[in-house]
Structure 1
Amino acid sequence: MSTEGFAPPPQSPAPATVSGRRSFPGARSVAALVLREMATSYGRSPGGYIWAILEPIGGILMLSLAFSAFLRNPSLGISFPMFYATGMLPFLMYSELQGKIASALNFSKPLLAYPTVTFVDAILGRFILGVMTKLLVSYIIFGGIMLLEETRVTLDFLHIFESFALAALLGLGLGTITCFVFTRFPMAQQAWGIVTKPLFLVSGIIYLYETIPHPYQSYLWYNPLVHIIGIMRKGFYPTYDANFASPVYVLSIALISLALGLLLLQRYHAEILNR
């Protein structure tokens, strides 16, 4: 049969071209969400970022004044502000990231109607800004304490960054899975708030893990924040071993939570957004 008069079928674009085209809108979406988050979280009130610094400083000062009134020295070192800062700052890195990411879908719901913006973009935007902000705040507070007080600490940057990285990953992992749970089952958010209220007291911020008597010490070991704070203090106090701290344990919880949360959001995010 003659093939004259028949046009060849249209060729589909090469996969590499398609993936290349899609990567740039994704990066632009994340950048736009970061800028939007900066404007809404820190640009609406006077001071903005100043309050992000003053809030943890206020907490550290209150703990320092309260415990220095009846203790001669903190559990490690000679500086009460430094001891409590090494506990509070990694705790805040985790808790604020978890809270921000857990509400990422509700916060960015109007933008998720656009095909170029995905739920992953919404999570990444809050994660990136949260990590950058907390690292900057921690740098200012740690640096200020070392300038204003005699601390006698020796910085081990490997352990310091390890602690912050684990805190950020734990916040990302638990934030992602609670993002699904909170948007799918709104009442779960109130239950989570009640259950996690005691975290500040049971994470080793105001005491050392080793000072807790048995059997309560073995129970506290399962709190991943105890490990993160132990690693942070190891990065400031070279005589502190923190041999109980297991980065593998924290990393396992963070990655399992992240994988499960992403799978559930991938499966149900369209249904959640259409409510």
Structure 2
Amino acid sequence: MTSRLMRRLDFRTPRVIAALVLREMSTTYGRSAGGYFWAIAEPVAGTVLLTAVFSFLAKSPPLGNNFALFYASGLVPFLMYSTVASKVAMAVKFSKPLLVYPRVTYLDAIIARFLLAALTQILVMYLLFTYLLMSSDTATVIDFDAIGLAILMAMALGVSIGTLNCLLFSVFPVWANLWSVLNRPLFLLSGVIFTYELLPESMAKVLWFNPLLHLTGKMREGFYPTYSPNYISLPYYAAWCFVPLVIGLFFLRRYHKKILNEL
């Protein structure tokens, strides 16, 4: 017990995590042409596509007067969550060759993948919204507190779901395929292309249980000062961020050696 505690308190753990982050950067962004360009291209391309399609179908977006800002404010937090969740979910499999060393643990692998994914998405978000706000007259007042909270919400849900899936993908490989199928409709059900208030009452009652709808609503609150998403429940969202994380960490701590032997 004492040796494990000292292991966590010395300076070797941050160095291990930093080394894993550098390894992740070189393998994820260093092997393909363009590197970080592709991380930026995904939200940009998604925003351009949504703007092009819906600007032909409607005279104005549901909020404000700028289609690109409206769709980016829904797409960016959704991609932030999904990217963090997918990266963390593969942490053990990705770092398996290094986990045989006693100084490298499954927790180091999870933290390293989380940090790189989160920081990358924050950078992408900064670049995209800076361009949108400077290149057009959006007539908006930025609420940095709401935006900051939305970023924390996206990262917290991403690492929570990702940690649970890190366990499930390793124990039940078929779950990775099922999860991919279940995730496909989320883009259409998470408030990326609509606001909660525009939904029919019967549909709104069902979709309220989707935590991503709370996330996109909080992000849009930061860009539209007149928008008040009263449906958001932070305690409900916090439960989604806490329960899967605790379950995933508990069983990974208990069975990580067995999982590594079976991978």
TM-score range, shorter chain: over 0.9
Distance 2:4 2:148 in 1: 38
Alpha-carbon deviation of 1:17? 11
1:173 equivalent to 2:167? Answer no
**How much does 1:21 deviate?**
8.0
For the pair 1:251 / 2:238, whether they are aligned, the reply is yes
Q: Deviations over 1:126-167 (max 9, x none)?
A: 000111000000000000001111111110000001001011
Q: What do the CA deviations read for 1:190-211 (whole angstroms, capped 9, x no partner)? A: 0111111100000000001111
Instruction: Give 4+ residue runs of structure 1 displaced > 6 Å after superposition.
Output: none
Residue 99 (structure 1) aligned to one of 86, 94, 97? 86
**Partner-residue secondary structure (3-state), 2:57:** coil
Name the count of aligned residue pairs.
Answer: 261
Give the match for residue 27 of structure 1. Answer: 14
Decide which of 51, 60, 67 is 1:80's aligned counterpart. Answer: 67
Using the alignment, how far apart are the partners of 1:201 and 1:100 within structure 2?
Answer: 22
| Cα separation, partners in 2 of 1:21 and 1:210, compared to 1, 3 Å | closer
CA distance, structure 2, for counterparts of residue 18 and residue 251 of structure 1? 28
Q: Is the 8 A contact 1:102 1:179 kept in 2?
A: yes
> What amino acid is the match of 1:135?
I
Q: 2:122 aligns with which of 108, 132, 135?
A: 135
Residue from 190, 195, 201 that aligns with 2:177:
190
**Higher-helix-fraction structure:** 2
CA shift at 1:50, angstroms? 1.2
Q: Shift in Å at residue 54 of structure 1?
A: 1.3
Change (3 A) 1:63 1:17: closer
8 Å Cα contact 1:102-1:178 kept in structure 2: yes
Q: Deviations over 1:222-248 (max 9, x none)?
A: 000000110111111010000001122
Structure 1 residue 70: Cα displacement: 2.1
| Aligned residue runs from structure 1 range 102-113, under 5 A | 102-113=89-100
Q: Gapped runs of 5+ residues in structure 2?
A: none
Q: What letter corresponds to residue 136 of structure 1 in structure 2?
A: L
TM-score normalized by the length of structure 2: 0.96
Q: Does 2:119 match 1:116?
A: no
Q: Contact 1:166/1:247 (CA < 8 Å) preserved in 2?
A: no
Residue 54 of structure 2 is aligned to residue 67 of structure 1: yes
2:143 aligns with one of 142, 148, 156: 156
Distance 1:152 1:74 in 2: 14
CA deviation profile, 1:178-221 (whole Å, cap 9, x unmatched): 10000011011001111111000000000011111021101100
% identical aligned pairs: 45
1:57–1:141 Cα contact (<8 Å) kept: yes
Query: What amino acid maps onto 1:155 in structure 2?
Result: I
Q: Does 1:203 align with 2:193?
A: no
Normalising to structure 1: TM-score of the pair?
0.92
Letter in 2 for 1:186: P
Q: Which runs of 5+ in 1 are unaligned?
A: 1-14
Largest Rg, 1 or 2: 1
Contact persistence 2:7–2:13 (CA under 8 A): no
Q: Secondary structure at the match of 2:185?
A: helix
3-state DSSP class of the match of 2:189?
Answer: coil
Partners of 1:24 and 1:85 lie apart in 2 by: 40
What residue in structure 2 maps to residue 228 of structure 1? 215
User: What RMSD, in angstroms, separates the aligned Cα atoms of the two structures?
Assistant: 1.4
Which of the residues 59, 71, 90 maps onto 2:77? 90
Whether the aligned pair in 1 keeps the contact of 2:169 and 2:175 (CA below 8 Å) is yes
